[in-house]
Amino acid sequence: MTKIPKFNVPLADRMRPRSLSEFTGQEHLTAPGRLLHHMIVRAEPYSIIFWGPPGTGKTTLAHIIAASSGYAFTALSAVTAGVKDVRQVIAAAAELRQHKGRGTVLFIDEIHRFNKAQQDAFLPHVENGDIVLVGATTENPSFEVVSPLLSRTKVLVLKQLSETDITTILEHALADPERGMGAFHPEAASELLAFIAHYSQGDARAALNTLELSVMLTGPNEAGVRCLSRASVENAMQQKMLRYDKTGEEHYNLISALHKSLRGSDADASLYWLARMLASGEDPLFIARRMIRFASEDIGNADPRALQIALDARDAFHCIGLPEGELALAQAAVYLATAPKSNALYVAWQKAMRCVHKTGTLPVPLNIRNAPTGLMRDLGYGSGYKYDHNFNDAVADQQLLPDEIATECFYQPSGRGYEKIIAERLEYIAAKKKGRT
Query: pLDDT value at position 343?
Result: 94
Q: How far apart are CA 119 and CA 113, in angstroms?
A: 9
Query: pLDDT value at position 437?
Result: 57
The tens digit of pLDDT for each residue in 148-188 reads 999 999 999 999 899 899 999 999 999 999 999 999 999 99
Quickly state the pLDDT bin for 56 (edges 50, 70, 90). Answer: very high
Q: Please state, for a pLDDT cut of 90, what percent of the chain lies above it.
A: 51
Query: pLDDT value at position 133?
Result: 94
Q: DSSP of 289-318, one letter per residue?
A: HHHHHHIIIIIGGGSTHHHHHHHHHHHHHH
In order of their start, the domains of the chain are 26-157 (3.40.50.300), 163-237 (1.10.8.60), 251-338 (1.20.272.10), 346-433 (1.10.3710.10)
pTM here? 0.57
Query: pLDDT value at position 322?
Result: 77
322, 280 contact by CB (below 8 A): no
Query: pLDDT value at position 327?
Result: 94
Q: What are phi and psi of 362, to 5 degrees?
A: -70, 145
- Sign for the CA dihedral angle at 245, 169, 234, 316 comes to negative
Q: Is the pLDDT of residue 243 over 60?
A: no
